[in-house]
Amino acid sequence: MSVKFGNGQKFDLIQAPYGRHGSYFYIYEDYNLPILRLSGFKTDNAMQGGMFNFDIKLLQRAPYTQLPREVRYRYTADEGSVRFQQYGEAAGWGEIVLTDKGHLRIRGNAPIEVSLRARNAAPEAAAAICEGVFARDAGKFEANFGRFGKMFFEAIRGSVTWESVFDNGVCKSFKAILNPTDDTRELDVGIHEYDADTEFEGYPNYEDFDALIAANKADFENFKKNYPTAVPSEYAETAEYAKWLIWSHRVKPGGYYVTPMILMHLQWLTAAASWQQSYNAMAQQANPQEAWRQICSLFEHQDPATGQLPGMLFYSGGAGIQAPFQGFALDWIIKRCGDDFLTAEECTRMYPKFAKWVNFWTELKTAGRGDDVIYAKSPHDSGWDDASIFADGFPASNPDILAFLVVLMEMTALLARKAGNSAVADEFDKRSKRLLQTITDEFWDDESGQFVTKKFASQPVKSLSLATLQPIMLGKRLPQSIIDKVAANLTKEGEWLTPIGLASESLKSPKLGLAHQFTLGRVIAPQNMILTVGLFTAGKEAEARLIAERYLNNIRDKGMILGFSPIDKYPDNHESQAGEWIDLDLPPIASDPWPWSTWTANCFLTMASLM
Amino acid sequence: MNISKLPLAHGKASVIFCRENGANSQKPQGWYVGIKPARGAGLGFEHMLGAAQSGGVLQLQIFDTSGAETAYDVTADYSSATITSPVGELKIAIDAPVNALRIEGNVPSLRLFKQAAAGMGSGSTLNLPDGAELNSGGRIVLKVLTGKHTFDDTWLIKQWSSVPADLRVTARNGKISLAMFSLGDYAAVPEITRSIADCAADSQADFTAFKGKLSEPIDETEAYSVWAFGTDDPFVFADAELALETALAHAKSSARKRPAYAAAVSALYVSGKLSAAGADKKRELISVIRNQLNWWNTYRFDAASRRYFYAYAGEYGGAPSGDSSPKYDTELHSLISALDSVCANLETEVR
């Protein structure tokens, strides 16, 4: 099966950009104009202005004047290439193939213009990042875009020229024009991208264009083998698209990345997020070795002194922190695939790193009680950036992080035991059980059926966040009475359960935030995945499937969007916006209006595997 | 010292006491505790972690016993600052070993606060039993040593930020004392063991010792600036190691650019200062320069005409233009030759 894209199709390129595993380039359809755009994720974070963006224009020679003019085109694409075709009787076309070798190729039969136009800048500053062009050899040239890197244009067939206008040291326009040969009307150009502080060493042996297309298709087919093929038929097409989305966001080693990782977005947050590598792994149930590699990928960047794993990894570096998801992901893979993939050698390699990650939390983020209860000083520690569990501020001890630690300790013990270190294994087993007891003794409110965050580990925070039910991820480790109450809460209509899945804040909460907030009500992928997996492993399979079906149906119908508002208007009990419409901004990049994301794709696949 | 122009700072600490002139709309004119300006670019996490603190961070206000704000004057030497007001005095010094700014005196109350409304992602704050913590692209801990404090740590859920930091300290038994630390994310808060007078004396002693490593003659204020904030000019230093360190820093920042530092390095070699430095540092300097020379020889040398050239205006500090041809420069050849000569001589020394 192949994923098909095209203008106005279910999967167009307004909604999620077009990429390729191992390519730093990506292509998307402009939100306002009927053209494709080219960009790269290494340095151009959409949240930083969108300076490194190019229009892709198809030109035709106007009759009588013979001057080239821009023509309208339609596009189609699959994982192999993107093709664009002139409307009407004239037969101008172009085709772009992305590669994992630092360049893309464009071929066609008509002139093609690649012109710099920043997304957010005023027109007079739209090309400001161009710092010059250097043409050392005839027929090829390098364009310098400052900190955004360089591009080298080389014609294999046809020719490539450029035009630029500078005024007082500022570039006003830059365009590369790719021209077909006069006799055969063939054009084939390589466009290479590389870092600002590197040089192009040449590319002597350009591959056959069609071979590159075939290689892309083969690479995607190979990647799909990581995922179970059995998917309910109603989700088959969406599952295929989800796999493509993940594959197209997979980066190769380079820059700060030392092993392949999956970016959250190509345009918005162009980072490999720590916990997302784990939930990407959870979907890869047909290849537990790859899932394990993905889980372990963050440990390549573990701080040797503190044990911290960085929360976000960009091409240029990493920082921050996110919840300790790795144990939960490993536990899931073992439950689905067995643990044969955990060789003694791998366990020996990894249990000290897992232990160090546990101890980072329990020693450097300790609540100072003499046990393993931690303090979060920021919502980003938990991943729920604007959740109401932090309504009373910091430091907060929130049981969702504690639950992750319980499983992380248990998995550390498992790894240590398989490595032959029973002393370490016993220690972490004991700590895991003790922390679990602490959660149920101190952080569970039986009356409300919720887990409770506590400021200073002692002052309960009133909250209707979905995060208060997240420790269901502990599955059968929890007492049955708690499992039953959480399951009941999660399946009560009109509270957290909505027609499209679980809302991150109860619909009865006066604090709902559904326009620009992440986890204050929107139905988001990771929480739905964590909780349905938790219910499933707790023996509440029917409840898990009920919720998963609603979530999966919505994604199938609406797309791989970061999060959805489950309602159109704020309820009457809202603290500040009672009865108001929930209006959303329309950003001019691939989005809908919230962007499409791999975190939805991998969570979709995990939840589909429950059905 | 004119503290309006140069902050109170220390060469071995990042904390400062400074005046903001109001050019930054988020920092109205006034006196601030703060952090030396950061070097290097961020990773774009500001919307989540908060922007790194730099320059003045928290403005200082003093109040009388009725709670009314009181004007004050600030005078300083190179080791401490004194705040004089109708309601009392404050002394400020830097406790370098623990990277803390110390404030102590007898005013009735004071306030350290951020003026600006919380923006998206301005970071989180904590109200501690003995002060407050600010986490915004870095960590600042305010520890109240003497006095009673209040601090609002309200978290604004929808803005991913706490309310702007606002610490108020009231004197206890007529005394106020606090410390502002700049710390790593997970570093323990150090103990305060020294008096503020000892901190000032230590700063003076460190500065005096540093002046001994400088070339003569040098203005006192310039010497302080070099000690507190560093310099790009290696000739400031009589000390060979410091001179080489500065030259090395300059060389490292000159990759892919006109090697303007070549003249300084050549002169340093002629003066004997490079030769007087340790072998390891010399090898490091050689390595940096040789890498750069290799780049010029590989990517910016026209073998046909045997000339070096620039590909881009940015390489020689010019304004970008539409001219895509190489720019030949005979002076570039001289600079590269000079560096090659220095390297060859140093390589002989370290062999």
Q: Are both A131 and A92 inside the same structural domain?
A: yes
Q: How far apart are CA A590 and CA A53, in angstroms?
A: 13
Does A160 score more than 70 pLDDT?
Answer: yes
Closest by Cα among A604, A314, A495, A546 to B46: A314
Same domain? A173 vs A310: no
Residue B124 to residue A393, Cβ atoms within 8 A = yes
Q: pLDDT value at position A263?
A: 96
Chain B's closest residue to A173, CA to CA, is: B322
Contact A393 B153 (CB under 8 A): yes
* Chain A contact for B79 (CB, 8 A cutoff): no
> Cβ–Cβ of A390/B48 closer than 8 Å?
no
Q: Which residues does chain A have within 8 Å of residue B319's beta carbon, measured at their own beta carbons?
A: 166, 168-169
C-alpha A280/C-alpha A606 separation (Å) is 9
Give the gyration radius of chain B's Cα atoms.
25
Give the model confidence (pLDDT) of A509-556 as tens digits: 999 999 888 899 999 999 999 999 999 999 999 999 999 999 999 999
Let me know whether A256 and A207 are in one domain.
no
Asked whether residue A370 carries a pLDDT value surpassing 50, the answer given is yes
Percent of chain A at pLDDT > 90 equals 85
Do A395 and A456 form a contact (C-beta atoms < 8 A)? yes
Pick from A48-57, A531-540, B22-31, B135-144 the range whose average pLDDT is largest.
A531-540
- Min Cα separation A234/chain B (Å): 37
Put simply, whether B44 touches A (Cβ < 8 Å) is yes
Q: Which two tokens mark A139?
A: 């027929």
User: Is 50 exceeded by the pLDDT of residue B40?
Assistant: no
**Complete DSSP assignment for A406-472:** HHHHHHHHHHHHHTT-HHHHHHHHHHHHHHHHHHHHHSEETTTTEE--EETTTEE----BGGGGGGG
Among B130, B324, B328, the residue to mutate for chain A (most A Cβ within 10 A): B324
Contact B115, B25 (CB under 8 A): no
**Which of A164, A312, A377 shows the shortest C-beta gap to B124?**
A377
What radius of gyration, in Å, describes the C-alpha atoms of chain A?
Answer: 26
How confident is residue A14, by pLDDT bands cut at 50, 70 and 90? confident
Q: Which residues of A touch B132 (CB under 8 A)?
A: none
CB spacing of A146 vs B321 below 8 angstroms = no
CATH number at residue A136: 2.70.98
The whole-angstrom separation of Cα B194 and Cα B205 is 15
Q: Write down the domain spans for chain B.
A: 15-193, 231-350
Type of residue found at A412: T
Q: Which of A450 and B250 is assigned the larger pLDDT?
A: A450
Interface test with chain A among B122, B140, B152, B155, by most A beta carbons within 10 Å? B155
User: Which residues from chain B sit within 8 angstroms of residue A168, using beta carbons?
Assistant: 319
* Per-residue model confidence as pLDDT tens digits over A316-360: 999 889 999 999 999 999 999 999 999 999 999 999 999 999 999
Q: Smallest Cβ distance to A393: which of B45, B162, B314? A: B162
Put simply, the chain B residues between 281 and 300 with a CB less than 8 A from any chain A CB are 295, 298-299
pLDDT value of position B41:
41
Percent of chain A at pLDDT above 70?
A: 97
Confidence label for A590 from pLDDT (cuts 50, 70 and 90): low
Does the pLDDT at position A45 exceed 80? Answer: no
**Angle A229-A230-A233 from CA coordinates, rounded to 5°:** 115
Give the residue-averaged pLDDT of A89-112: 95
Mutation for B interface: A47, A136, A140, most B CBs within 10 A:
A136
- C-alpha distances (whole Å) from B13 to each of B87, B201, B203 are 30, 15, 10
pLDDT, tens digit, for every residue of B100-158?
Answer: 999 999 999 999 999 776 566 568 999 999 999 999 878 999 999 999 999 999 999 98
* Domain end call among A177, A201, A217: A217
- Which CATH number is A386's domain given? 1.50.10.10
Please give the residue of chain A at the shortest CA–CA distance from B47.
A47
Lowest mean pLDDT among A262-271, A395-404, A472-481, A598-607: A262-271
Residue B37's pLDDT band (boundaries 50, 70, 90)?
A: confident
Whether residue A378 and residue B320 make contact (CB cut-off 8 A), yes or no, is no
Give chain A's mean pLDDT. 94
- Of A183-197, A492-506, A555-569, B57-71, the one with minimum mean pLDDT is A555-569
Best to test chain B binding among A42, A44, A134, A574 (most B CBs inside 10 Å) = A134
Closest chain B CA to residue A131: B320
Task: Give the residue with greater pLDDT, A449 vs B53.
Answer: A449
How does pLDDT run across B209-247, given as a tens digit for each residue? 999 999 877 889 999 999 999 888 888 888 888 899 989
Buried b (16+ CB within 10 A) or exposed e, A399-434: bbbbbbbbbbbbbbbbbbbbbebeebbebbbebbee
Closest B-chain CA to A135: B324
B311 versus A594: which is more confidently predicted?
B311
| DSSP 3-state of B341 | helix
Of B124, B299, B319, the CB nearest to A394: B124
A281 in the same domain as A184: no
- Please indicate whether, in this complex, the C-beta atoms of A317 and B43 are within 8 angstroms of each other: yes
3-state secondary structure of A143: strand
- Yes or no, beta carbons of B320 and A386 under 8 Å apart: no
How many domains does chain A fold into?
A: 2
Q: Are A313 and A257 in contact (CB under 8 A)?
A: yes
Query: Structure pTM?
Result: 0.94
Kindly identify which residue of chain B lies nearest to residue A320, measuring between CA atoms: B49
B328: contact with A, CB 8 A cutoff = no
Planar angle of CA A395, A440, A451, nearest 5 degrees: 55
The answer to whether residues B11 and B206 touch, using CB atoms and an 8 Å cutoff, is yes
Residue A394 to chain B, least CA–CA distance (Å)? 6
Residue A479 confidence class, pLDDT cut points 50, 70, 90: very high
Q: How confident is the model at residue A48 (pLDDT cuts 50, 70, 90)?
A: low
pLDDT surpasses 90 at B5: no
Check residue B231 and give its pLDDT: 86
Interchain contact, A146 vs B314, CB within 8 Å: yes
Give the model's pLDDT for residue A582.
87
Segment among A58-72, A87-101, A450-464, B187-201 with least mean pLDDT = A58-72
pLDDT exceeds 80 at position B46:
no
* Cα of B320 to nearest chain A Cα, Å: 5
Q: What is the pLDDT of residue A188?
A: 98
Pick B48's closest partner by Cβ from A146, A170, A320: A320
Are A168 and B43 in contact (CB < 8 Å)? no
Mean pLDDT, residues A141-146 taken together: 96
Give the model confidence (pLDDT) of B173-191 as tens digits: 999 999 999 999 999 999 9
Q: How far apart are CA A243 and CA A227, in angstroms?
A: 8
Q: Shortest Cα distance from B157 to chain A (angstroms)?
A: 5
Q: How many CB atoms lie within 10 A of CB A123?
A: 10
- B186 in contact with chain A, both atoms CB, cutoff 8 A: yes
Q: No. of H helices and E strands in chain A?
A: 12, 30
Per-residue pLDDT for A129 more than 60?
yes
10 Å Cβ neighbour count for B158?
Answer: 14
pLDDT digits (tens, 9 = 90+) for A251-269: 999 999 999 999 999 988 8
CB-CB under 8 Å, B312 with A136: no
Q: Are residues A210 and A310 in the same domain?
A: no
Looking at the predicted structure, is the pLDDT value of residue B88 above 60? yes
pLDDT surpasses 90 at A151: yes
Domain span holding position A196? 5-217
Report pLDDT for A269.
84
Partners of A380 on chain B (C-beta within 8 Å) are: 48-49
Residue A140 has pLDDT above 60, yes or no: yes
The count of other CB atoms within 10 Å of the CB of residue A391 is: 18
Mean pLDDT of A17-40: 94
Task: For residue B309, give how far its alpha carbon lies from the nearest alpha carbon of chain A (Å).
Answer: 11
Are residues A529 and A508 part of one domain?
A: yes
